[in-house]
Amino acid sequence: MTRWSAPHVRSRPRPNRPSEPVTPGAQTVSHRGWRDGVSVDGQRAVPEETAIALVYEGATLAVMMATPADLEDFAVGFSLTEGIVDSRDEIESLEVIVEEIGVELRMRLAEGKAQALAARRRHIAGPVGCGLCGIESLAEAMRPVPRVSGRAVFLSATVLSALGAMRGRQQLHRQTQAVHAAALWTREGGLVSLREDIGRHNALDKLAGALAMSGTDPRDGLVLLTSRLSVEMVQKAAVIGASTLVAVSAPTGLAIRTADAAGITLVAVARRDGFEVFTHPERITGAARDVAS
């Protein structure tokens, strides 16, 4: 049985801010805008950015710049997609500790996983755009990905509908125009989970954690991304078992090859009027069917 401690939050005074956050992970600031040569004073919601330390067995493994929201999901999802644990149950405790200069996510692992982590420990200093920071070898960066087993087939119109549902739920992006989102859409539940972050990798990690915490299986759903598809996004999707990955931007060549090897249907350049399928197109159809085979 996994033992989860109630998140222990220790706060210290923070510097004065222009106003309280509009929504978790954002705040409103004053600005002076120029339009057509005329200045106008106004306000704008901007996303927050905080140093988040992922701490295992008392030692920091990674420090990432991230949006300070859904941090338990981030801790669990990062642990899963980086191969530190194979399931949520192998994280025996998790504490969220808020400091003046950032946040520590302190975790204790099951004995076997703690020993394995000690043997492979590395330090990652992670700016928001970096997905493979701190990897020590080519073999680790290009680790084999598991092959997914989802067999659901989706109408092309369903993919577009799911993207529309995601756009409607991106509250933080709607306010700030400055964050990424990752979401899961399923036939039974529609848009069942969505997470946002200034970092595209962080958003996917948060989604992975949310799905693990709720026991939701993404294999026969659509994992939706607002970002480009680089190889580490495909690697993370494969680890959580996502069979169909949909992104609004283009994939890299390596991402395509990795998705093909993992059995993932890679849908990209997804816009309101259509998209392109790069791997395993059998999961997308224009026929009047939307069933698991």
Question: The sheet that has 274-279: what strands, in order across it?
Answer: 190-197, 180-186, 222-225, 244-247, 265-271, 274-279
Distance CA 22, CA 172 (A): 9
CA distances from 186 to 18, 76, 189, 235, 246 (A): 40, 22, 5, 21, 13
Residue that has been written with the tokens 């090897």 in this structure: 261
Assess whether 130 carries a catalytic annotation.
Answer: yes
Q: Name the active-site residue from 128, 130, 133, 254.
A: 130
Torsion, Cα 148 151 157 161, to 10 degrees, reads -60
Beta strands in 145-199 (DSSP E): 154-155, 180-186, 190-197
> What angle do the packed helices 231-240 and 200-214 form, to 10 degrees?
0
Distance CA 185, CA 223 (A): 7
CB burial of 106-137 (b: ≥16 within 10 Å; e: otherwise) equals bbbbbeebbeebeeeeeebebebeebebeeee
If residue 35 lies in a helix (H) or strand (E), which one and from where to where?
Answer: strand 26-35
Residue that has been written with the tokens 């106008």 in this structure: 40
DSSP 100: T
> What angle do the packed helices 231-240 and 71-81 form, to 10 degrees?
90
Distance CA 76, CA 107 (A): 9
Active-site residue numbers?
130
